[in-house]
């Protein structure tokens, strides 16, 4: 993989509260001293790693809430990466930012340090919904955060929102989308609510305390949003993501194109062709391991060529441009059709997939039933795939 571009994910697990739908690896109630200790561990982990020789294309601080941490601590991590690797303005550097956790001084400090993209978790533009989701901010915080970000010079802002919430009407969803568009963001991520096992949301649903909107209503919300965003110049380029031309997320594209990424932090996952591995999840155990000079890696899996082909296909199909057949062939030495003839033909017959000799794409129906397509690819029996060893 020498010469191939790669990305770096940095996990910052701290949050003020746990949102009702969230099952991410986070830590609540950590002190500033913990933040200092953790960011020192990130730097120590970075210096203990061998890095790929190709160009670093992106750095993504995700969480958790990276923006909770004092700016000098995150900037310290960026400086360490710069010292280790060298950074120029072509590297996309994103910080996930929650409203109410930043002010103009913090944002300006990030900007000076080379941060050139913010991903702001707005989620909804009604205080009622934010409260019910146990978000640690209100609508005014969203407005103030976007305004401060623009003042600090950020010209690449992404906003996240969720649809299909319990209690959410179509009118409220449209209001959320319109108000987010008023900020003139360069990028929007619109996620359908997923119910994750063990979350407060899942428990409330199980005991009938809340009810989700039906599938048709949720599909209408997604369709309306796509039209509104397209009319505003934000084009869909992945199932949940929209961008102005040239503002597509470099980091996410690395994931969707199954390109290499390394990762720092508790529970963070990394990938190089043929191998995926992850760090110990618990934040304190992660810090102890790194401080003791031990490797924080907690597990790994070797990926067979068959598994990589499946992943390449599924992740690629999430993108509007779909899977480029020549890239697939270059990487795996055969066409997708030669490898997955049966399942691809059956998905095409069901009207979920479109393909020719150059590319494969989900149809609009395939996008609505993306989980069905994913399942079909995952379940495609290995023995039926031409010339593969599993």
Q: Which of residues 343-372 bind ligand SF4 (CB under 6 A)?
A: none
Q: How far is the CB of 21 from ligand SF4 (least distance, A)?
A: 7
Asked if residue 189 binds ligand SF4 (CB under 6 A), the reply is no
One residue of 12, 26, 290, 343 binding ligand SF4 per CB under 6 A: 26
Q: How far is the CB of 19 from ligand SF4 (least distance, A)?
A: 3
Cα–Cα distances in angstroms (integers) from residue 265 to residues 7, 29, 169, 387, in the given order:
14, 18, 38, 39
One residue of 8, 10, 15, 287 binding ligand SF4 per CB under 6 A: 15
Stretch that binds ligand SF4, among 16-24, 105-113, 341-349, 372-380 (CB under 6 A): 16-24
Cα–Cα distances in angstroms (integers) from residue 382 to residues 74, 227, 305, 337, in the given order:
44, 39, 11, 14
Instruction: Identify the CA nearest to 60 among candidates 81, 30, 45, 44.
Output: 81
Q: How far is the CB of 121 from ligand SF4 (least distance, A)?
A: 6
Query: Which stretches of the chain are assigned E, i.e. beta strand?
Result: 6-12, 14-15, 27-28, 56-63, 92-97, 117-123, 157-163, 187-192, 235-238, 241-243, 261-264, 269-272, 275-279, 297-302, 323-324, 353-355, 359-362
Q: Count other Cβ atoms within 10 Å, centred on residue 51.
A: 13
Contact 10, 262 (CB under 8 A): no
Stretch that binds ligand SF4, among 14-22, 87-95, 186-194, 362-370 (CB under 6 A): 14-22
Q: Which of residues 104-163 bind ligand SF4 (CB under 6 A)?
A: 121
* Nearest CB to ligand SF4, comparing residues 18 and 49: 18
Asked if residue 24 binds ligand SF4 (CB under 6 A), the reply is yes
One residue of 5, 18, 35, 217 binding ligand SF4 per CB under 6 A: 18
Token look-up 């969720």 returns: 162
Stretch that binds ligand SF4, among 19-27, 189-197, 219-227, 255-263 (CB under 6 A): 19-27
One residue of 8, 10, 12, 19 binding ligand SF4 per CB under 6 A: 19
Q: Return all residues near 349 (Cβ < 8 A) that are at least 6 apart.
A: none
Asked if residue 385 binds ligand SF4 (CB under 6 A), the reply is no
Number of residues interacting with ligand SF4: please give it, by CB under 6 A: 11
Distance, CA of 151 to CA of 147 (rounded, Å): 6
Asked if residue 98 binds ligand SF4 (CB under 6 A), the reply is yes
One residue of 22, 122, 177, 344 binding ligand SF4 per CB under 6 A: 22
* Nearest CB to ligand SF4, comparing residues 55 and 200: 200
- Length of the chain in terms of residues written: 390
Stretch that binds ligand SF4, among 18-26, 70-78, 306-314, 360-368 (CB under 6 A): 18-26
What dihedral do alpha carbons 100, 166, 195, 164 form, nearest 10°?
-90
Judge if the upstream peptide bond of residue 64 is cis by omega within 30 degrees of 0: yes
- First-to-last alpha carbon distance for the chain, in angstroms, is 22
* Nearest CB to ligand SF4, comparing residues 255 and 332: 255
Q: Which of residues 40-79 bind ligand SF4 (CB under 6 A)?
A: 63-65
Positions that interact with ligand SF4 (CB under 6 A): 15, 18-19, 22, 24, 26, 63-65, 98, 121
């Amino acid at each position: 993989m020498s010469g191939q571009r790669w990305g770096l994910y940095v996990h910052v697990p701290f949050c003020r509260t746990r949102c009702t739908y969230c099952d991410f690896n986070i830590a609540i109630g950590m002190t500033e001293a913990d933040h200092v200790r953790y960011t020192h561990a990130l730097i120590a982990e970075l210096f203990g790693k061998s890095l790929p020789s190709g160009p670093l294309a992106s750095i993504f601080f995700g969480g958790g809430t990276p923006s909770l941490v004092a700016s000098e601590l995150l900037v310290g991590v960026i400086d360490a990466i710069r010292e280790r690797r060298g950074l120029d303005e072509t590297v996309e550097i994103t910080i996930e930012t929650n409203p109410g956790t930043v002010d103009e001084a913090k944002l300006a400090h990030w900007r000076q340090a080379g941060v050139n993209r913010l991903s702001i978790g707005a989620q909804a533009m009604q205080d009622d919904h934010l409260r019910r989701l146990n978000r640690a901010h209100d609508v005014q915080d969203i407005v103030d955060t976007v305004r401060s970000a623009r003042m600090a010079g950020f010209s690449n802002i992404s906003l996240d929102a969720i649809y299909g919430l319990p209690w959410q009407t179509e009118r409220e969803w449209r209001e959320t989308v319109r108000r987010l568009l008023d900020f003139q963001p360069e990028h929007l991520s619109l996620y359908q609510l997923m119910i994750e096992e063990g979350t407060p949301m899942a428990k409330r649903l199980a005991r009938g305390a809340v009810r989700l909107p039906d599938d048709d209503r949720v599909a209408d919300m997604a369709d309306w949003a796509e039209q509104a965003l397209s009319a505003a110049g934000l084009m869909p380029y992945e199932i949940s993501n929209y961008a102005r031309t040239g503002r597509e997320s470099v980091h996410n594209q690395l994931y969707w194109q199954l390109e290499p990424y390394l990762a720092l932090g508790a529970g963070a996952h990394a990938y190089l062709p043929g191998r995926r591995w992850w760090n110990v999840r618990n934040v304190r155990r992660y810090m102890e391991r790194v401080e003791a000079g031990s490797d924080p890696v907690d597990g790994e899996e070797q990926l067979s060529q068959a598994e990589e082909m499946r992943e390449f296909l599924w992740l690629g199909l999430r993108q509007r441009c779909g899977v480029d057949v020549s890239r697939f062939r270059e990487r795996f030495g055969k066409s997708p059709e030669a490898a997955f003839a049966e399942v691809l033909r059956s998905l095409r017959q069901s009207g979920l997939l479109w393909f020719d000799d150059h590319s494969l794409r989900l149809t609009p129906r395939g996008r609505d039933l993306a989980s069905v397509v994913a399942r079909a690819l995952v379940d495609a029996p290995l023995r039926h795939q031409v010339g593969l060893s599993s």
